[in-house]
Amino acid sequence: MSVPPVLTLDVDAVCKSFGGIQALTDVSFEVRGGEILGLIGPNGAGKSVLINVVSGIYPPDSGTLRFRGSDITRLSSHMLGRLGIARTFQNIRLFRRMTVLENVLVAEKRHLLRPFSSVLGFGTRRAEIEAAMAGLARMHLADRAEQLAGTLAYGDARRLEIARALAGEPRLLFLDEPAAGMNERETEALKEDIARVRGAVDAIVIVEHDMELLRGLASRMVALDYGRKIAEGTPQEVLSNPQVVETYLGGARHA
């Protein structure tokens, strides 16, 4: 008898509205340990709102969120970071006047546990620098450690944001449109980067419009439209779903 996969995240009937606009309606899905889950949908489908709810930026109006079996529905983003949920953003958010290394050091787990500390205020131990450098090396950024983050090329800035998110040793990582603005060569390199870091976390959720990127990474997909889940399954199943084809892929079948 097969053992069911461990659930990293359980989203159960989550609803969220802003004024009279219903952004999410009864959204339910699971993120299983060891997987990369692709979250797709047209602009305005509720993808980023969903990530903001799960990461504690917005409280849900109703529904339940469980992370590794524990109810996290009403926890703040800071508390969720401590528990092991990390994310990147559509718009890159780096400390542009700090070096690449400093950007990773301030996100290191010790600073999550002591939020008022800083690299300068508490000093930096050799072990922390070594760990940060190892994270940069994993993202091919070690040779840019002393470079100001604001001077990085676009693709490298995206990599740094992922390295910084991983510095907190998360169990669940959300990547919000990581390939946005990248050319074909940069996207292919990003795919290799994400595949390489998947062993550092329990699970990854990627919000993305680039279907080829997701085809090469995701084991399952969830599709949203107008704040509702319209499909869930393997990439083949979801991208062949008539409702997904009609509402998201513009009638062009991507099977």
What per-residue confidence (pLDDT) applies to 4? 56
pLDDT tier at 109, thresholds 50, 70, 90: low
What per-residue confidence (pLDDT) applies to 117? 47
Is residue 65 in a domain?
A: yes
Contacts of 187 (CB under 8 A, 6+ apart): 179, 210, 212, 213
The model carries a pTM of 0.88
What per-residue confidence (pLDDT) applies to 161? 93
CB 165 within 8 A of CB 177: no
Query: Is pLDDT of 5 > 80?
Result: no
* Mean pLDDT (the chain, rounded): 88
Q: Which tens digits make up the pLDDT trace of 152-188?
A: 998 899 999 999 999 889 999 999 999 988 888 889 9
Q: Which tens digits make up the pLDDT trace of 29-69?
A: 999 999 999 999 998 899 999 999 999 999 999 999 999 99
What per-residue confidence (pLDDT) applies to 89? 87
Domain tally, the chain: 1
CATH of the domain at 11: 3.40.50.300
Is residue 110 in a domain?
A: no
72: domain range? 7-96+171-247
Is residue 112 in a domain?
A: no
Is residue 134 in a domain?
A: no
pLDDT tier at 255, thresholds 50, 70, 90: very low
Residue corresponding to tokens 């892929």: 249
pLDDT tier at 124, thresholds 50, 70, 90: low
Q: Which tens digits make up the pLDDT trace of 189-246?
A: 999 999 988 889 999 999 999 999 999 999 999 999 999 999 999 999 999 999 999 8
Query: Is pLDDT of 253 > 80?
Result: no
Is residue 91 in a domain?
A: yes
Is residue 157 in a domain?
A: no
Is residue 148 in a domain?
A: no
What per-residue confidence (pLDDT) applies to 251? 47
Is residue 178 in a domain?
A: yes
